[in-house]
Structure 1
C-alpha cells in the first residue's frame, strides 16, 4: 500500500510523491529526487520541520523536544524524517522548491474541446498525456501555442482524471483568449506546468461558505466535484456566485446537479447589473443572508476580482465576523496577461 503526499512549497509549487507503507515522508521525497531540508534525519535537529494540513500519520517517539515540542505537534507541525503517513497527506514545506532541487512538473496534453459557453466565458477541455495530480482548487500554467507565454488557470475538474477542464475568462485581445476563440482545434498540443497554489480544499470540519465572481467559479467547481466524489455531506456548504450580466451566468445546471447530489449544499446566483430581471441583484455581499456564518466558526473560500475580495473582507469587518479560515484567490484580467492571480490562504 502507498499514499499520495502533496508537498506544498513556499513558492507555490506542489509536488506529489508516493509514500510506501511504513516509509517516512523524507525518504519518499528523496526517492523521488526531492531534497527536503534535512541535517540529521534522526529527529534531533528540527531542520526538516513542516506542517501537515490534512491526513493521518504517526511521528513515533524517537525525536527530541528541542526538534519538535508537544505544543507544535498538537498544532500539526511534523518532522518529515519521522512522519510515517497512514493516509494521503498534504504537507507544507517552509522552503522554496528550487532549494529542494525540484520544481513544477510538466505534462503534455491535447485539446479535446473548446466551448464558448457565454460571451465572457470559455470552457477548455484537455486530455492529459500523463497523470497530473492536483488538489481541488489548485491551478496550472498553460503555454499559449505559438508563443513562449503561459497563462494561469484553475482546474474546474475533479482531481484524479486525465480529462481536465478549465473555465476561462474570454478577454478580447487576450493572448490565450485569441487562440481559443479563433485558432484552437481538437488535437492541438498544449503544455501544462504545475500544479500550484494554496487555494485548495482543506478537511471539512465546519460549515463552508464559498464565494465566486465570474470565472472565479472554476476552482469552486473542482472543490464541489471532489465533495461529490467523496460524499462530503457532514457540514452545511453554501455558495454565492455573482456575475455582472445575465449572459455571464454559466454552469448553473452543474450547480443544480451538485445540489441534488450533496444534500447539505445550497447556492445562490447574483447579478450586479441594474438592467437585469434576476431576483437577486447587487453584489454577493448583499445576499449573504443564507450563509452559514456559525458565529465565525466557518471556513470561507473566495475567488474573484480584487474589488470583490476587498468588499467581502470589508463585509466581515463591518459584521464583526472573523471566519475560522479565509482562503482567497483574486485575479485581474488584462489585455497583456489574460489573468494575474494572487493566491492567499
Structure 2
C-alpha cells in the first residue's frame, strides 16, 4: 500500500514528519502519530483544522461546506486536514505551535566522522547518524549539543535529506563554544541533535530561483542544490555567494560541481574587501543582474548575517523589486540555540 511523507511545519519552527497511508486523511494520520492537530467537528463543517498546503498533490473531496473552506481559499492552497487525502509527499503549514498540538522537537544521536578546517574561516563537520537518516526539508537546521558544556548551537544542514552522513558548514569563531570544541574533537564522539527546525526551506520550484548566501549562510543552499541536482528542474537557478575576505570563500569547488550537474544553474562569488583582487568586489546587492530578477517573477532565498538581510530588503524596497516570494533567514555566527519559547537553551 502506498504511503506519503507529510511534513507538518508549526508556527514555532518545529517540523514533524508523519507517514500518511493511501486514502488516509491527514488529520487521522496525525492523530495516529500522537500529534493533535487543531480540530473540532472532523466533518468539514467548522473549519478549525484549516492549514496551508505549501506543496504536494491531494484531494479534498466534496464533503465539506463553503463556510468551512471557500473555493477561493482552496484555490489559494488552504486545506481542511480532516478532509485532505494526499496523493504525493506534502508540506503543510500548521497555524499553531507544536506544544499546542501536544508534540515537540525530536532528538537523535550522531557520531563525529570528520572535521575539516577551511583556512581560518570555517569548519566542515560531518556526522554519521546512529539510526535512521533524519527527515528534514532542504534549508532547515538542527541544534547540536556541545559535549561537556551543556550548551547547544544551531546549524543548517549542508547535505540533502535522506543521507546517513550529514554535514554542516560552521563559521570559525575564536573562543567560540563550538569552534573551540571542534579544535579538539575526535572521530567517534557522540553528539545529540535536536530538530529539524525552521521555516527557511526550499519550496516547490515553479519559477526562476535566486539564492543569496552570506558567508557560512552557504550551508542551506548546498542542501537545496543537491536536491535540485537530483530533480533537475527546468527553471533557472542563480546563486550569489558573498563574503568579507578572500579566505572566506570556501567550498567553491562544490558549487562548481553543481554547475556541471545542474543544467540551468549559474553562480557568482563576491568579496567585500576593497583590497581583494577578486574580479567581483562589493556587496551582493551590486551583483544581482536584471535577468536573474526576472521582472519580479522569481523566488528569492537569502541566508546571511542580519546586516546583509537588511541591505537586501532595503535594496528591493528602494528599487521597487517585488519578488513573487522572498524567504530569508538571519543568523549570527555564535548564536545560542533557543528553546520553543525563545529562551536561551
Shorter-chain TM-score bucket reads over 0.9
Q: Distance in 2 between matches of 1:318 and 1:10?
A: 30
Shift in Å at residue 332 of structure 1?
A: 1.5
Q: Which residue in the other structure is 2:302 paired with?
A: 302
Q: Which residue in the other structure is 2:148 paired with?
A: 146
1:98 partner SS: coil
Shift in Å at residue 293 of structure 1?
A: 1.0
Deviates more, 1:55-64 or 1:312-321: 312-321
Is structure 2 residue 280 aligned with structure 1 residue 265?
no
Q: Which residue in the other structure is 1:184 paired with?
A: 185
Deviations 1:161-195 (A, max 9, x none): 111000011111111111012x2111100001000
Shift in Å at residue 147 of structure 1?
A: 2.2
Q: Which residue in the other structure is 1:343 paired with?
A: none
Q: Distance in 2 between matches of 1:88 and 1:148?
A: 37
Q: Which residue in the other structure is 2:278 paired with?
A: 278
Q: Which runs of 5+ in 1 are unaligned?
A: 341-345
Shift in Å at residue 291 of structure 1?
A: 5.1
Contact 2:214 2:308 survives alignment (8 Å): yes
Q: Which residue in the other structure is 2:6 paired with?
A: 5
Is structure 2 residue 96 aligned with structure 1 residue 62?
no
Deviations 1:97-129 (A, max 9, x none): 011110011111101101102211010001111
Runs of 4+ in 1 over 6 A off after TM superposition: none
Is structure 2 residue 135 aligned with structure 1 residue 136?
no
Q: Distance in 1 between matches of 2:86 and 2:57?
A: 6
Contact 1:51 1:77 survives alignment (8 Å): yes
Contact 1:4 1:16 survives alignment (8 Å): yes
1:109 partner SS: strand
| 1:16-35 equivalence runs, <5 A | 16-35=17-36
Contact 2:5 2:90 survives alignment (8 Å): yes
Shift in Å at residue 312 of structure 1?
A: 0.8
Contact 1:177 1:338 survives alignment (8 Å): no
1:40 partner SS: coil
Shift in Å at residue 221 of structure 1?
A: 0.6
Query: How many aligned residue pairs are there?
Result: 336
Deviations 1:269-319 (A, max 9, x none): 001111111100111111112651111111000001111111111111222
Indicate how the Cα distance of structure 1 residues 66 and 290 shifts in structure 2: closer, same or farther if over 3 A, else same. closer
Normalised TM-score (structure 2): 0.95
Q: Distance in 2 between matches of 1:210 and 1:66?
A: 40
Normalised TM-score (structure 1): 0.95
Q: Which residue in the other structure is 2:173 paired with?
A: 171
CA RMSD of aligned residues (A): 1.2
